[in-house]
Amino acid sequence: MASAWERKHHHSDLEKAAAFLPRLLAEDSLTSNCHSQTIVGVLLFVDMSDFTALTEKFIQSSGTDRGTDELAQTLSRFLRDILEEMLTFGGDILKFAGDAVLVLWRAPHQELAKTITLVLQCSWQIQKKYGSRDTPVGQKVQLKIGISAGPMNVVFFGDGRRRHFCICDRALNEVCEAQELANAGEVILSATSWELCERHRLRIKHLAGKRAVKVTGMDQMSWSECQDALRKLVQHPVSHRLEGEGAMRPALVLSNRPKVVEVLGKYIPETALMKLDDRLPLDFFSELRPVTSLFIQLQLATDFISTAELCTVLLNASRMLLEILCPHKGKINKVLLFDKGCSFLCVFGLTGEKLPYKSLHALQSAIQILNSFSTMFGGKKAVSVAVTSGMVFYGVNGHPLRREYTVIGQKVNLAARMMMHYPGLVSCDAATYAASRLPPYYFKELPERNMKGISHPGTLYQYVGITKESIFGMGLTKERSEYAPLLGREKEIDLFVSCLKAYKELGQRHILAFEGMMGSGKSHLLTELAYLGQAAGHRVVAVELLEVNVRQSFSAIRTLMARALGLQDCELCSDKERMLQTKLRGTIEESSYCLLNDIFLVEFPVSDKVRDMGEPQRKKELHSTWAKVLEKAIGGEFGIFVIDNAHFIDPASWSIMSPVLRNVSLFMVMSLAPGYARTESFCKAAADETMSHNITYLHLDKLKPSAVVQKVCQDLGVVSISRDLARFLIQRSSGIPYYCEELLRCLRRSDMLLSCTRRRGEKGEDNWESLTASAVEASPLAASSSSSAGDDGRVCIIRPDVNLENAVLPVTLKEIALAELDRLKPLKQMVLKHAAVIGPVFTTQLLSHILPAGIRHKMNCLLDMLVRDNILKWLKNTEVPEDVQDPTKGPATSLRAESGVERSSPSKTTAERQSGVLAFCVLPLQEAAYQLWPERQRVALHHKCAAFLERHVHKCKSCSQGDFVAFHRFAVTSTQDGGSCQGPADQGDSRSWEALVLAGEQMRRDRTHATEDAEDDLQQQQAFMEEDFGVAGRFLAKSEETTELSSKSDGKHSGACSCECKAIVESVLVPLARHYLAMGDAARAFYYLLECAAAYLHVSNSYMALVKLNEAEVLRNSVEKKANVIACFEEAVFFSLKGEVCCRTGRMKLAKKMIREALSLLKRQFPRTCIGALVKSQVEKLQCAAYVARRAASLPQEARRKRLAWLLQQSRCLSLLEHLFSLEGTSSGQTFSRLAARMKANTDRAADSYRAADSRHR
């Protein structure tokens, strides 16, 4: 929502944007043709001490994601407070530098003395109020302030795309020096400002060997003196005051002149402008996202360089940066001439600007920048570049009247430190090194250096770029396991064998091209095919191209020819020359060998023939020679040529390779990725009738669920895995091998998995943990039918205290998903981010409820576009009712797009769309979009979702619409304080219910069908059905009827008839528990976990009830030390539900133990001995129904319903005990069974009295 100030004063989008700019950018400076402007004033430079160390502590305390978010929020609150003081005293916030701020007070020269006093008073106020503040991680934040005054120059520079400004000259140098001299809590005056100030007001201390002075005290200005000084500042007369606060900021005088609007917009980041244009609330500007930061420092002697020269330097540097960064989607975020000298902060991977391999793009840009700037400024020592990769807060920081749009995080600070400590080179951190996927010879390890505030930076590297080793490329890097076969690629291997046989026996040349998305296993497949070719006795020449190769002319042809000719093994230049002369004898003339010098790094003498050639003729001869060499290299003898990542073949190489491949008899295997020009070329060639018999173009399919299970078992070294783990990996990986590997690596690194050896039929202890283990291992998915046949073997399961739904998406998969997300426009991204909070499946009503009001009217149109982009899919109800399904065919719908998905069509009406259900096509995209939210915004959205869903927390109409735990909401009233839905969500409840039912059915199918598909493929043990887990407790049907408020319903259990409760538990109750967990509300989360367990028992799904009770137990254990978090009634329900699960699964002894514990918590003791049973039986006979009725009538409604909830829960527990003891067949068992029946009868009569009283008082 917009603030009161914004609603009152923001009359145009441009005025909203003005908060991102200083007052200094007035109309006269924007419209003039000057690149610099001289002004007079006072500068204040405030910096936080030990901010880098504070950043490290947040990361160590809360982890990368949450720590970054907490750091940004702490910094934002602190900056808001100190900026409030500066704005109140008339300051103009010029620049932000992370934890530092540069502020200007413009004043006529004759008013500098009073203005310095005004700024000093502002500084003292800041130090007094905020000079030392505690943080959540135990480290104090303290401020250091420097002040200078005098004339200074403002430099404007940039181009048609982006503009920047900087303050320079002596005043800036002095304020930086003053701030450096200050200790925490101090204010330092520069030499010039000390000469100009009102000395009679100040108490100072001289600094040894310095002209600057430390201010130790001052005589404060009166209110009238402050107002007089403010009026004499150079500023525009129009000012705005934030309602309810004292901050005042003179506003930019804006006009409708197009030139002003255009120029002003160039000073604001493009992403911020786009979001302003879309009228998004400021709360939705910010994100947590992984980016690559690039810091550049120029060593400029600003004391000896003129303003005109500095302006030229900055203009040329910024233009060169933009030329280098734009192809790589990098952005200049800041240009600073203070804090760390002349520095540029550039960022890769921002919203809407993300490319795959962003770390590699950043390194390529960095080496170009280093080389270009070194040439421009006369040597590499004048330039240093640092590159880091990791999580940052990217968004709005500062004050409502003056803010910036920037990146904040540990990795940004690390890049700034590395830039200072490793001059004259490109340095990078370990994360960038790993993410670039470049071979080690592109880097050199750097010596460790002590960097202020950085305790453990990890291994740091120098990026050296292209070396002699990289000139000749590398072979296939994927290693083949001798013990583990390649899974799921039998069709591709058979095709390779048949084509190779035809080439060998019949001489049929062939190119076998495999296209697959990133992570589909192309490299592993080519490694396997290369091995098979070598095993068959053939010569195999294999190369792997990298993304850097596509930007290096002739790199692909050089690599292929060098490895085909064996040059990669030659150390000396003379060895390469002899090898070339031996291999190419008779292929090219002696006079043409010199044309190979540059490409193979040899030194053949330049022949007279070549020396006399003109440039066009020489170029033509060069191409002809290379074509002959290529033809000799790949067509001279029988062999197999393997090119991994052939889409990275550079254009220059392709101009030579293309005609040769058409004419030379060869057998080549290559892998390609979609979306590249080279891939399209091969695809068109394969479709060409003249070429199709020589090219086979095959798209790599995703792995089948059975292959995913086999791969996981193979990687873990186990014979089987639990169904929950299989379901998680099948759904999250989408059948892509790399995704599966990364997910599994993340689970193992987080210690979420547990391997155990277990014999079938082995009996464990009779406790809840044993029951949980037996449920998990009841029907594991084995890698093969032979694996499942044995009695022994290692099984991998999920740790009991782990909920895989809360598993964080690995950074590598998040990068891939965000690259897909950032191809979309901001409004589409905003809709997806809101949908991601709801979950993988969502209804349009709920989405509309949580979307900002300004974009709700666009929702349907945006959803249609996202469906066309294959990001989302519409769902429709095609499921045949269970009671008429053919049991041999299984469910009528599946996860496949053709059976359960409705694609967008123009004929769909608006009314239909308003009650629609959609799902994410790829789960990692939903998780990545969700993780972009900062915590504050995320919690607010979860609260909205919970408020909407709580309208539908009840059974379906056929089951009387009560709570699943009878009268639960009245027993624990605090759980219903979450607010109610307002606006669109209040209308059309019947449609909302229908949509939630449809969504729930899809969620249930998603949970159950993934592993069923794997079972069908593996053709092993009998399919595991959650509803068939354990022994069905049908005897509970009768007792459940007594728990309903209304006795008019004669409906049966959903286990026996088709009802909507199965769907509602999936789409309402399970999400509510998740929303409240995300909000940090343990009490409400526990409430809904109990409702989930009761609902699953209601629909006869004991397995999922057990799963939810385990989640509840983990939550209960985490808060058991906190008082009054979980109510006594809910503790009783918890044990009661456990007892019911035990009963349904045949654990009778354990069930009785749990029920007794529940009754004890419900203050209804059940005896343990026969004597106690006889005594208790006599006591029960003495109960007076009239007394109970009178007491029920005397209680207020809230207390009466709470008591009724307790009675109904007691009745349910006693019903269970009656049944359990009746099964014993002993005299003591019959005694206890009769007692339980009598106690239940008394309890039911009491419940009837309370019902009757409640009905009379309605």
Upper half-sphere CA count for residue 633 (Cβ side, 13 Å):
27
State how beta strands 92-97 and 100-106 pair: antiparallel
Report whether 1184 contacts 1242 (CB < 8 A): no
Structure tokens that stand for 1234 in this block: 């009769």
3-class secondary structure, 37 = strand
**Is the pLDDT score of 250 beyond 70?**
no
Structure tokens that stand for 491 in this block: 């069709």
Burial class (CB in 10 A: 0-12, 13-18, 19+), 134: exposed
**Cα separation, 799 vs 747, whole angstroms:** 11
**Is the pLDDT score of 1136 beyond 90?**
yes
Most confident option among 546-550, 743-747, 901-905: 743-747
Q: Alpha-carbon Rg of the chain, whole angstroms?
A: 36
Report whether 964 contacts 1030 (CB < 8 A): no
Helix pair angle (1128-1144, 1082-1098), 10° resolution: 30
Structure tokens that stand for 564 in this block: 């085909």
**Cα separation, 1061 vs 959, whole angstroms:** 8
Residue with tokens 């006693």: 1214
Q: Which long-range contacts (CB under 8 A, 24 or more apart) does 1148-1154 make?
A: 1148/1220, 1148/1223, 1149/766, 1150/766, 1150/767, 1150/768, 1150/771, 1151/1216, 1151/1220, 1152/1217, 1152/1220, 1152/1221, 1154/768
pLDDT band for 1122, please (50, 70, 90 cuts).
low
pLDDT band for 266, please (50, 70, 90 cuts).
confident
Output 782 or 1157, whichever has higher pLDDT. Answer: 1157
Upper half-sphere CA count for residue 991 (Cβ side, 13 Å):
16
Structure tokens that stand for 162 in this block: 């982006």
Torsional class of 983: left (φ above 0), alpha (ψ -120 to 50), beta (otherwise): left
Upper half-sphere CA count for residue 748 (Cβ side, 13 Å):
12
pLDDT band for 1, please (50, 70, 90 cuts).
very low
How far is residue 434 from each of residues 429, 544, 644, 746, 1103, measured CA to CA in Å?
A: 9, 17, 20, 16, 42
**Is the pLDDT score of 9 beyond 50?**
no
Torsional class of 409: left (φ above 0), alpha (ψ -120 to 50), beta (otherwise): left
| β-pair partners for 42 | 105, 149
- CB neighbours of 1162 closer than 8 A, spacing ≥ 6? 1129, 1132, 1206, 1209, 1210, 1213
Confidence (pLDDT) at 541: 85
**Cα separation, 593 vs 546, whole angstroms:** 28
Report whether 264 contacts 14 (CB < 8 A): yes
- Scored b (16 or more CB within 10 A) or e, 1145-1161 reads bebbebbbbbbbbbbeb
**Is the pLDDT score of 251 beyond 70?**
no
pLDDT band for 209, please (50, 70, 90 cuts).
confident
**Is the pLDDT score of 969 beyond 90?**
no
Task: State the average pLDDT over residues 780-790.
Answer: 55
Confidence (pLDDT) at 912: 44
Output 564 or 838, whichever has higher pLDDT. Answer: 838
Q: Where are the alpha helices (DSSP H) in 507-614?
A: 522-535, 555-565, 573-583, 597-600, 608-611
Lowest-pLDDT range of 4-13, 449-458, 499-508, 1083-1092: 4-13
Report whether 463 contacts 369 (CB < 8 A): no
CA-wise closest residue to 379 among 321, 424, 315, 342: 424
Upper half-sphere CA count for residue 941 (Cβ side, 13 Å):
25
pTM of this prediction? 0.86
Three-state SS letters, 960-1021: CCCCCCCCHHHHCHHHHCCCCCCHHHHCCHHHHHHHHHHHHHHHHHHHHHHHHHHHHHHCCC
- The string of pLDDT tens digits covering residues 557-612 is 888 888 878 777 777 888 888 888 888 887 888 888 888 887 777 888 888 888 88
- The string of pLDDT tens digits covering residues 909-928 is 444 445 689 999 989 999 99
Give me the count of residues in the chain.
Answer: 1258
**Is the pLDDT score of 1184 beyond 90?**
no
Confidence (pLDDT) at 1011: 64
Task: State the average pLDDT over residues 452-479.
Answer: 78
Lowest-pLDDT range of 519-528, 626-635, 764-773, 1015-1024: 1015-1024
State how beta strands 383-399 and 426-428 pair: parallel
pLDDT band for 763, please (50, 70, 90 cuts).
low
CA-wise closest residue to 1091 among 1122, 1137, 1045, 1052: 1137
Task: State the average pLDDT over residues 638-667.
Answer: 82
DSSP 767-829: SHHHHHHHHHTSSPEESSHHHHHSS--EEEEE-TT--GGGPPPPHHHHHHHHHHHTTS-HHHH
**Cα separation, 603 vs 609, whole angstroms:** 16
Return phi, psi of residue 406, to 5°: -150, -175
CA-wise closest residue to 871 among 812, 925, 814: 925
**Cα separation, 442 vs 1060, whole angstroms:** 60
Torsional class of 220: left (φ above 0), alpha (ψ -120 to 50), beta (otherwise): beta
**Cα separation, 188 vs 178, whole angstroms:** 5
How far is residue 315 from each of residues 14, 262, 302, 1102, measured CA to CA in Å?
A: 26, 19, 15, 70
**Cα separation, 80 vs 96, whole angstroms:** 12
Confidence (pLDDT) at 1028: 53
3-class secondary structure, 841 = strand
Average pLDDT, the chain: 81
**Cα separation, 631 vs 665, whole angstroms:** 9
Confidence (pLDDT) at 909: 43
- The string of pLDDT tens digits covering residues 71-116 is 999 999 999 999 999 998 999 999 998 889 999 999 999 999 999 9
Amino acid at 538: H
Measure the CA angle with vertex 1213, ends 1207 and 1219; round to 5°.
Answer: 135
**Cα separation, 286 vs 349, whole angstroms:** 14
pLDDT band for 409, please (50, 70, 90 cuts).
very high
Helix pair angle (923-931, 826-838), 10° resolution: 100
Task: State the average pLDDT over residues 849-864.
Answer: 90
**Is the pLDDT score of 465 beyond 90?**
no
Confidence (pLDDT) at 416: 92
Task: State the average pLDDT over residues 186-208.
Answer: 92
Most confident option among 639-643, 761-765, 1189-1193: 639-643
Structure tokens that stand for 249 in this block: 């900021």
Torsional class of 356: left (φ above 0), alpha (ψ -120 to 50), beta (otherwise): beta
- CB neighbours of 415 closer than 8 A, spacing ≥ 6? 293, 294, 295, 386, 387, 388, 429
Upper half-sphere CA count for residue 291 (Cβ side, 13 Å):
34
What is the DSSP secondary structure assignment for residue 1052, as one 8-state letter? -
**Is the pLDDT score of 687 beyond 90?**
no
Output 21 or 687, whichever has higher pLDDT. Answer: 21
**Cα separation, 1196 vs 1204, whole angstroms:** 12
Lowest-pLDDT range of 181-190, 303-312, 981-990, 1214-1223: 981-990
**Is the pLDDT score of 1036 beyond 50?**
no
Torsional class of 1195: left (φ above 0), alpha (ψ -120 to 50), beta (otherwise): beta
pLDDT band for 1033, please (50, 70, 90 cuts).
very low
**Cα separation, 502 vs 498, whole angstroms:** 6
